[in-house]
Structure 1
Amino acid sequence: MTTLMTILGIVIFALGLLFSIAWHELGHLSWAKFFKVRVPQYMVGFGPTIWSRKKGETEYGVKAIPLGGYIRMIGMFPPGADGKVVARSTSPWRSMIEDAREQSYEEVLPGDETRLFYTRKPWQRIIIMFFGPFMNLILAVVLFLVVLMGFGVPTAKPTISFTSPCVVASNSAAAQSQSCPKGAPESPAAMAGLKAGDTITSFNGVAITSYDQLQNEIRKHPDDKVTLGVDRKGQQLSVPVTLTSNKLYAIDSNGNPTDQVVTAGFLGIQPITPTTQLGLGESLDKMGGMAKQGVSSIIALPSKIPSLWGAAFEGKKRSLDSPVGVVGVARVGGDVLAMHAPASARIATMLQLLAGLNLSLFLLNMLPLLPLDGGHIAGALWEAARRRFARLVKRPDPGPFDVAKLMPVAYVVAGIFLCFTVLVMIADVVNPVKVG
């Protein structure tokens, strides 16, 4: 049964990925047609076509490899300086430019002269290219709101679920098995007589409003004597506690554990984590934090390559904050559907995975690099800026910016992305991230 649920989870995630890609390309397609650009093809996936149907002037289809998609717009690049679409050169870099220019004109038909992409105004081209990733952002926001406001999220509270009987390092085998080895010292919580159901209301006189606040205060006071305000079934207690030092996993700014082990203050309690439905304001604030974390993760991608290489080829441990590709997320989706948890929790986690994927697609595609959508947006913005400058200084219109000249850079960027994707895929296969 577990294997069947794992396979079902992978299939569901794959369908969600296909929908996300189709939704992205629909954003490009809708606005391209609105601005009268001819679109011969709308395809989900790459490689050989497994299904297609032509409706009007556009062929709609699905290809075999669900790792992306595209719409083909005619006239993506302006003609060369000589006014010709094709002008051969012996330079390999020049050939890249001319090949790209030629391909963008392959399907130009008589009467299409006014329907070329490059002839649209810069702001129109920006809208066409922006609405692909923007559709992913819309989908991410909707899915996150469904999860946060509808299903709710586990939220740690400063109420004790159980106390740890002893002190063991977080990265030790004893911590994983939740056992106390012989000679392990008694935890401060056990010595102080704290019980399940106790709510910690203050720390050294400072009111406690969240478990994250309590956790940070405990960690900042190793080996210190502190006083905890405790609500025990309505009775208000003042409990003196001597904290101890312990080796714990460091936590990031969002309260998530990392691979780094630090020495910090330790009390020895586990909080209750009831599922809490968030309000609109709380949900938007939480999504803002997710977006910031997503940006930070993208910036940090180059620094993750050594650890990815080690996980893929040297048998090293896969770090908790390791980048995960489509294969890895699909496997996580399978693990989520197979885990022993309420159906609502599994559905919510699957939706959150798809929401995170769509947020990542938005952020990645907005990078100002060709062949990403952000590269075309940057080209249109540069064209608008230089045309405006020419008008201000009363110079001749410089004409459309020739994005085709950046194709050598686009090939380099695409090559880097391809190599990184392959590395992540290998790591996801041989050393996958596991759901805890």
Structure 2
Amino acid sequence: MEILAFIIGVVLLVVGLAVSIALHEIGHLVPAKRFGVRVSQYMVGFGPTLWSRRRGETEYGLKAIPLGGYISMAGMYPPSPKEEEAALAGRQSGRAGGGFFATMVQDARTANDETLTDGAEDGVFYRLPVWKRVVIMLGGPFMNLVFAIVLFAILLSGIGIQTATTTIARVSECLPIVGQTACGPDAESVPAAEAGMQPGDTIVSIDGTPVDTFTDVSTLVRAAPGENLTVVVERGGEDITLQLTPARVTQQETDEFGRAVTDENGEPVLVDVGFIGVGPTGEFVRQPLWAGPQAAFENVTAVSGILWQLPVRVWDTGVDLFTGQERDPDGPLSVVGAGRLAGEVAASESPVLNRVAGFIGLLASLNIALFLFNLIPLLPLDGGHVVVALWDGVKRVWAKLFRRPPPRPVDATKLVPVTFAVFIALLVMGGVLILADLFNPVSIL
């Protein structure tokens, strides 16, 4: 059953990724058609086509590998000058001489020219004003950001954040003793039990201080070992006043994130704190509507910190892989790693709502990563096409200022070697992350 749940989680992530890619490409498609650009294909996925249907000028389809997508726009680059083609090719075959990269450049130009049917120059991308080209290219990442905001809103305002409330779920049987997991015959009872506190009681105040969360309760109790406290609890609709004295217990100190604090020698720091022996009830508390967008933009900041250090982070992940060290849980993941986490969420023993919330949070974070990754100003990513469009605009403004003839559109096919290098770098980094996610994975368990 656990294996089946794991598989379901992975499948759901694949479907969620396909939806994210589809929305990304719609973000390109809609403004392209709105601005009159001819779009011959809208495809979700790569590889063999599983299904397609033509509507008007556009073929819509689904391919076998849902790890990307694309739309094919007419005239993504300006047409090749005939003189330049002849100079590069030296013959009429259309093939370029001058080595591997020259051939790649010529192939890119030839493929682009095939989209300019019958030499028609209407409805082509490169002839649009700069701002329209930028809108088209940013439309894809923008859709991922919007989808992430919607998912975070569903997670936080629809489901809520699981919060430890002031309602008591359990009362311990005895004081904890280091090295023991069960109560012995001589074990001391906890202050909460001695005071008559019961599961289902809701703590209202401690020594006159109102408490809204279990964190408030814990803070007041931990700070008062050995002190008599007046605790008001609600039971059956009535307020009941109890007297209790928190026991003094020794625990390892933790920081605000719950991580163990150590001294300069790496030894755990121990502190004496108050303990009454109760556990809270967890409930999903719905957040305000603005919590979703706020969480999305906080996530943007966090993921940005990973992306701008991506080569270094991937290198560290590779070192951890080959040395067997534990990976940074906040480091980059591949699709394999994300799928594995989705499977673990689905196969966990948590309540169904907790698993749904975990999956939605994972998919939302994945869309934030897609949003930021596509903004990297390098071809073949969307950010690279934005840079090309802006550079074209700068050239036009410069020519206008100095009353020069309008310059030729920027020919991005000349950047094919750079694009190829970026592609190889991304391929290598992706391979390292996939190997790490297979043999040294990050786990939520």
Q: Tell me which interval the TM-score lies in, with the shorter structure as reference length.
A: 0.7 to 0.9
2:206, 2:231 within 8 Å by CA — same for their partners in 1?
no
**Aligned residue for 1:49?**
49
Mapped to 1, the partners of 2:351 and 2:225 lie a distance apart of 41
The one-letter code matched in structure 2 to 1:360 is: A
1:390 to partner: Cα distance: 2.9
Mapped to 1, the partners of 2:279 and 2:300 lie a distance apart of 28
Q: Show structure 2 runs of 5+ residues with no match.
A: 89-95, 183-187, 234-238
**Aligned residue for 2:120?**
112
Please, which moves more after superposition, 46-55 or 413-422?
Answer: 46-55
1:29 to partner: Cα distance: 1.5
Mapped to 2, the partners of 1:82 and 1:259 lie a distance apart of 70
Mapped to 1, the partners of 2:260 and 2:80 lie a distance apart of 52
Q: Does 1:379 align with 2:385?
A: no
Pair 142,282 (structure 1): closer, same or farther in 2 beyond 3 Å: closer
Mapped to 1, the partners of 2:82 and 2:230 lie a distance apart of 81
**Aligned residue for 1:171?**
none
SS in 2 for 1:274: strand
Mapped to 1, the partners of 2:437 and 2:359 lie a distance apart of 18
SS in 2 for 1:67: strand
1:6, 1:335 within 8 Å by CA — same for their partners in 2?
yes
The one-letter code matched in structure 2 to 1:10 is: V
**Aligned residue for 1:433?**
442
TM-score between both structures, scaled by the size of structure 2: 0.77
1:165 to partner: Cα distance: 5.5
Mapped to 2, the partners of 1:217 and 1:379 lie a distance apart of 59
Q: Does 1:305 align with 2:311?
A: no
Q: From the CA coordinates, give the structure whose radius of gyration is larger.
A: 2
Alignment root-mean-square deviation, CA: 4.2
Q: Does 1:72 align with 2:78?
A: no
1:101 to partner: Cα distance: 2.1
1:167 to partner: Cα distance: 8.9
2:314, 2:332 within 8 Å by CA — same for their partners in 1?
no
1:376 to partner: Cα distance: 0.5
Q: Does 1:246 align with 2:252?
A: yes
Mapped to 2, the partners of 1:98 and 1:421 lie a distance apart of 28
Pair 160,380 (structure 1): closer, same or farther in 2 beyond 3 Å: farther
Mapped to 2, the partners of 1:343 and 1:63 lie a distance apart of 32
The one-letter code matched in structure 2 to 1:428 is: D
TM-score between both structures, scaled by the size of structure 1: 0.78
1:334 to partner: Cα distance: 1.9
Identity over the aligned pairs, expressed in percent?
37
2:27, 2:143 within 8 Å by CA — same for their partners in 1?
yes
The one-letter code matched in structure 2 to 1:11 is: V
1:283 to partner: Cα distance: 3.3
1:206 to partner: Cα distance: 11
SS in 1 for 2:117: coil
2:167, 2:280 within 8 Å by CA — same for their partners in 1?
yes
Pair 398,335 (structure 1): closer, same or farther in 2 beyond 3 Å: same
Please, which moves more after superposition, 49-58 or 417-426?
Answer: 49-58
SS in 2 for 1:323: coil
1:279 to partner: Cα distance: 0.6
Pair 91,336 (structure 1): closer, same or farther in 2 beyond 3 Å: same
Mapped to 2, the partners of 1:218 and 1:387 lie a distance apart of 69
**Aligned residue for 2:400?**
391
> Map of 1:224-373 to 2, 5 A cutoff?
231-233=231-233, 246=252, 248=254, 255=257, 267=273, 273-373=282-382
1:161, 1:271 within 8 Å by CA — same for their partners in 2?
yes
Pair 111,303 (structure 1): closer, same or farther in 2 beyond 3 Å: closer
Mapped to 2, the partners of 1:63 and 1:287 lie a distance apart of 30
2:419 paired residue among 399, 410, 418: 410
Please, which moves more after superposition, 321-330 or 125-134?
Answer: 321-330
1:58 to partner: Cα distance: 2.0
Alignment length, in residue pairs?
Answer: 415
Mapped to 1, the partners of 2:159 and 2:385 lie a distance apart of 38
1:366, 1:372 within 8 Å by CA — same for their partners in 2?
yes
2:153, 2:292 within 8 Å by CA — same for their partners in 1?
yes
